[in-house]
Amino acid sequence: MASQDLRNWTVYARRLKSALLDPTVDQAELEETLRQARERAPIPVVWLLGKTQAGKTSIIRALTGSDSAEIGNGYQPCTRTARLYDFPEAAPVVRFLDTRGLGEIAYDPEEDIRYCESHANLVLAVMKIADFEQQAVADVLRAVRRRHPDWPVLLVLTGLHELYVPGGEHVLPYPFDDESGIGALPDDLQRALVRQCEVLDSLAGRGAKAWVAVDLTQPEDGYTPQHYGIEPLWRAIEEVSALGLERQLRGDESVRDVYARSAHQQIVGHAVTAAALGALPVVDLVTVSGVQAKLLHALSNLYDQSWDRRTTTEFVSLLGAGVATGLVARMVGKSVVKFIPGFGQSVGAVWGASTSGAATYALGKAAVYFFAQRNAGVRVEAGNLRKVYAEALDSGAAMLRERFGRTRK
Amino acid sequence: MKLSRLLRRIDPLRAVALLLSALPMLALVVLGLLWLWQNGFLLWWLGAMVACAATAYAMQALLMKRQRKLLADAATEPNPQWPPAADEVWGRVEALADELDPEDWPLDDAERLLGLGRRTLDTVAEAYHPGVDKPLLELTVPHMLLIIERASADLRRDIVDHVPFSHRLVIGDIFRMQRWRRSAEKLFLVYRAGRMVINPVHALVGEAWRGVRDLGVGAVSGELHRWLLSAFVRKVGFYAIDLYSGRLPLDESSPSDQVTEASRKDDERAAEEAKTSSEPLRILVLGRTNAGKSSLINALFGELAAASDALPDTTVDLVPYALEREGMTRALVFDSPGCENGLFAQASFVKAARSADFVLWVSPVNRPDRQQEMKCLQQLRAIYANDAAKRPPPILAVATHIDRLRPAAEWQPPYDLVVAATPKAENIRDAVVALARDLAFEPGDVVPVCLADGRVYNVDDLLRSALLDRHDSALRIRLMRCVDARRRAENWGLLRRQLVGAGRLLRRLSGRADKR
Q: Which of the 8 DSSP states describes residue A256?
A: -
pLDDT of A178 reads 80
Query: Distance (Å, rounded) from C-alpha A57 to C-alpha A59?
Result: 5
CA nearest B251: which of B390, B141, B142, B140?
B142
Q: What are chain B's domains?
A: 75-245 (no CATH), 278-484 (3.40.50.300)
CA nearest B282: which of B360, B348, B383, B391?
B360
Looking at this protein, which amino acid is placed at residue A260? A
β-bridge partners, A121? A45
Q: Are strands B395-400 and B358-364 parallel, antiparallel or unpaired?
A: parallel
pLDDT at A337 over 50: no
pLDDT of B56 reads 87
Query: Distance (Å, rounded) from C-alpha A169 to C-alpha A163?
Result: 11
Name the strands in the sheet holding A153-158, side by side, starting at the edge strand that comes first in the sequence. Answer: A83-87, A94-98, A45-50, A121-128, A153-158, A209-213
User: How open is the CA angle B153-B157-B160, to the nearest 5 degrees?
Assistant: 135
Q: For A369-380, what is the mean pLDDT?
A: 86
Q: Which residue of A has its CA nearest to B451?
A: A166
A124 phi/psi in degrees, rounded to 5? -100, 110
Structural element, H or E, at residue A227: strand A227-228
Question: Which of A3-7, A344-348, B220-224, B482-486 has maximum average pLDDT?
Answer: B482-486
pLDDT at A348 over 60: no
In terms of pLDDT, which residue wins out, A141 or B104?
A141
Looking at this protein, which amino acid is placed at residue B81? Q
Query: In chain B, what percentage of residues exceed pLDDT 90?
Result: 6
pLDDT at B255 over 80: no
Chain B contact present for A51, CB below 8 A = yes
Q: Which of residues 418-437 of B touch A (CB under 8 A)?
A: 423, 427, 430-431, 434-435
Query: Distance (Å, rounded) from C-alpha B439 to C-alpha B416?
Result: 23
Count other Cβ atoms within 10 Å, centred on residue A320: 16
pLDDT at B368 over 80: yes
Contacts of A74 in chain B (CB under 8 A): 366, 404-406, 427, 431
Q: Which residue of B has its CA nearest to A223?
A: B409
pLDDT at A328 over 60: no
Structural element, H or E, at residue B286: strand B281-287
Question: Which of A15-24, A396-405, B172-181, B469-478 has maximum average pLDDT?
Answer: B469-478
In terms of pLDDT, which residue wins out, A181 or B215?
A181
Split at pLDDT 50, 70, 90, the class of B187 is low
Split at pLDDT 50, 70, 90, the class of A155 is very high
CA nearest A95: which of A247, A242, A249?
A249
pLDDT of A342 reads 39
Query: Distance (Å, rounded) from C-alpha B93 to C-alpha B109?
Result: 22
Q: For A293-316, what is the mean pLDDT?
A: 82
Query: Distance (Å, rounded) from C-alpha A81 to C-alpha A105?
Result: 10
Q: How far is CA B282 from CA B347, B353, B441, B471, in A?
A: 18, 10, 21, 12
Q: Are strands A83-87 and B319-323 parallel, antiparallel or unpaired?
A: unpaired
pLDDT of A350 reads 44
Q: What is the pLDDT of residues A28-81, one digit of tens each?
A: 777 777 777 777 677 788 888 888 788 888 888 888 877 666 655 555 554 455
User: How open is the CA angle B459-B465-B467, to the nearest 5 degrees?
Assistant: 85
B52 phi/psi in degrees, rounded to 5? -60, -45
Beta-carbon separation of A220 and B454 below 8 A:
no
pLDDT of B359 reads 92
Beta-carbon separation of B289 and A133 below 8 A:
yes
Angle between helices B171-198 and B200-244 (to 10 degrees): 160
CA atoms within 13 A on the CB side of A348: 22
Beta-carbon separation of A103 and B365 below 8 A:
no
Split at pLDDT 50, 70, 90, the class of B396 is very high
Looking at this protein, which amino acid is placed at residue A237? I
pLDDT at B244 over 80: no
Strand, coil or helix: B417: coil
pLDDT of A157 reads 94
Strand, coil or helix: A47: strand
In terms of pLDDT, which residue wins out, B321 or B6?
B321
pLDDT at A346 over 50: no
Strand, coil or helix: B324: coil
Q: Which of A173-182, B210-219, B323-332 has the lowest mean pLDDT?
A: B210-219
Contacts of A104 in chain B (CB under 8 A): 368-371
CA nearest A232: which of A269, A182, A270, A268?
A182
Angle between helices A382-407 and A309-338 (to 10 degrees): 40
Distance from CA of A54 to the nearest CA of B (A): 9
Structural element, H or E, at residue A84: strand A83-87
ipTM exceeding cut-off 0.85 for this assembly: no
Is A197 exposed, middle or buried, given 0-12, 13-18 or 19+ CB atoms closer than 10 A?
middle
Is residue A269 within 8 Å of residue A91, measured between CB atoms? Answer: yes
The number of angstroms, rounded, from the C-alpha of B167 to the middle of its chain's C-alpha atoms is 27
Query: Distance (Å, rounded) from C-alpha A394 to C-alpha B277?
Result: 89
Intra-chain end-to-end CA distance of chain B, in Å: 89
Summary mean pLDDT of chain B: 76
CA nearest A305: which of A200, A204, A377?
A377
Query: Distance (Å, rounded) from C-alpha A19 to C-alpha A30?
Result: 12
Q: What is the pLDDT of residues B86-102, one digit of tens each?
A: 888 888 888 888 888 77
Q: Which of residues 142-171 of A touch B (CB under 8 A)?
A: 161-163, 165-167
User: How open is the CA angle A55-B307-B470, to the nearest 5 degrees?
Assistant: 85
pLDDT at A6 over 50: no
Angle between helices B471-515 and B261-270 (to 10 degrees): 110
pLDDT at B191 over 80: no
Structural element, H or E, at residue A116: helix A110-116
Question: Which of A107-111, A282-286, A341-345 has maximum average pLDDT?
Answer: A107-111
Chain A contact present for B288, CB below 8 A = yes
pLDDT of B405 reads 87
Split at pLDDT 50, 70, 90, the class of B398 is very high
A154 phi/psi in degrees, rounded to 5? -120, 125
pLDDT at B324 over 80: no
Looking at this protein, which amino acid is placed at residue B155? L
Strand, coil or helix: A365: helix
Count other Cβ atoms within 10 Å, centred on residue B157: 11
CA nearest B239: which of B229, B249, B251, B253?
B249
Chain A contact present for B273, CB below 8 A = no
For B406, the closest of A52, A73, A167 (CB atoms) is A73
In terms of pLDDT, which residue wins out, B426 or B183?
B426
Strand, coil or helix: A188: helix
pLDDT of A314 reads 82
β-bridge partners, B282? B332
Q: What is the pLDDT of residues B336-351, one digit of tens each?
A: 888 877 777 778 888 8
Split at pLDDT 50, 70, 90, the class of B3 is low
Beta-carbon separation of B372 and A131 below 8 A:
no
User: How open is the CA angle A383-A386-A391, to the nearest 5 degrees?
Assistant: 125
Strand, coil or helix: A210: strand
Query: Distance (Å, rounded) from C-alpha A353 to C-alpha B395?
Result: 66
Query: Distance (Å, rounded) from C-alpha A396 to C-alpha B117?
Result: 102
Q: What are chain A's domains?
A: 14-38+250-333+350-407 (no CATH), 45-243 (3.40.50.300)
Q: What is the 3-state secondary structure (H, E, C) of B450-480?
A: ECCCCCCECHHHHHHHHHHHCHHHHHHHHHH
Strand, coil or helix: A14: helix
Q: Which residue of A has its CA nearest to B406?
A: A221
> A–B: how many Cβ contacts below 8 A?
96
In terms of pLDDT, which residue wins out, A323 or A94?
A94
Query: In chain B, what percentage of residues exceed pLDDT 70?
Result: 68
Is residue B275 within 8 Å of residue B134, measured between CB atoms? Answer: no
